[in-house]
Homo-oligomer: A and B are copies of this chain.
């Protein structure tokens, strides 16, 4: 009963990894399962519920070691290495800075391994047990950093937004070929881009996205310390 659901979910995730979210259709899943599309419905409800479950399946892998009990679908699947590295780093040891960094890196690694997740994550509240547990780890880290209780939930949302948004921008293409607007310089009505002009040399070298992510994490930690210093608002 539950194994069949897990099998369907596993096949759906594999399909998304291989051919993108657009290729995840009831008909395509059914073909791989070896069954009629309609036979899927008792197990997954409908298409929206399937997408929810696929995202939940992924978020479950963001947890620190010890949290993942039995079950959780067929062993492995593609991209498993990145997830496990991420999950290992997201444990409860270390300073709040290390733990926040580990969770952030794990989240980015999951989206890198499963880019289709970026298309789903902004449309669903973090209400699964796995998500709530990750949020709890962030709450604990922020409290330990000295952030006032009244500011913790907001800061958690801002942190998550930066991390998820960064990963989604990478996976989706927003951090694309936009950084060399030289082709536009002449075609603007007023003809000038003063900011770009002042940054000409800085905009010429290609971006190291790993380094940028680390710099963003470091700056967020800086912000958290500043908020902690100022105390309750």
Residues of chain A having any CB pair with chain B under 8 Å: 67, 69, 118-119, 121-127, 129, 131-133, 135-140, 143, 149-150, 152-154, 157-158, 161-162, 164-166, 168-169, 172-179, 181, 184, 187-190, 193-196, 198-199, 201-203, 207, 212, 215-216, 219, 222-223, 226-227, 233
Assess the A135–B195 pair: CB atoms within 8 A. Answer: yes
User: How near does chain B come to A115, taking the closest CB pair, in angstroms?
Assistant: 10
A189: chain B residues at CB < 8 Å are 67, 69
Assess the B124–A174 pair: CB atoms within 8 A. Answer: yes
A131: chain B residues at CB < 8 Å are 178
> A222-B223, A222-B226 are known contacts. Are A216 and B175 too (CB-CB below 8 A)?
no
Contact of A122 among B125, B126, B174, B198 (CB under 8 A): B174
> A135-B195, A136-B193, A202-B150 are known contacts. Are A123 and B172 too (CB-CB below 8 A)?
yes
Contact of A198 among B69, B149, B227 (CB under 8 A): B149
A199: chain B residues at CB < 8 Å are 139, 143, 149, 152-153
Assess the B226–A173 pair: CB atoms within 8 A. Answer: no
Cα-based distance from A123 to B212 in the complex (angstroms) = 19
Contact of A129 among B69, B177, B187, B227 (CB under 8 A): B187
Assess the A174–B219 pair: CB atoms within 8 A. Answer: no
Cα-based distance from A139 to B212 in the complex (angstroms) = 17
A–B pairs, 28, beta carbons within 8 Å:
A69-B189, A122-B122, A122-B172, A123-B173, A126-B174, A132-B181, A132-B184, A132-B188, A133-B188, A136-B193, A136-B195, A136-B196, A140-B194, A143-B195, A143-B199, A152-B202, A153-B199, A154-B212, A154-B215, A154-B216, A157-B175, A157-B212, A161-B162, A161-B165, A161-B169, A219-B227, A223-B223, A223-B226
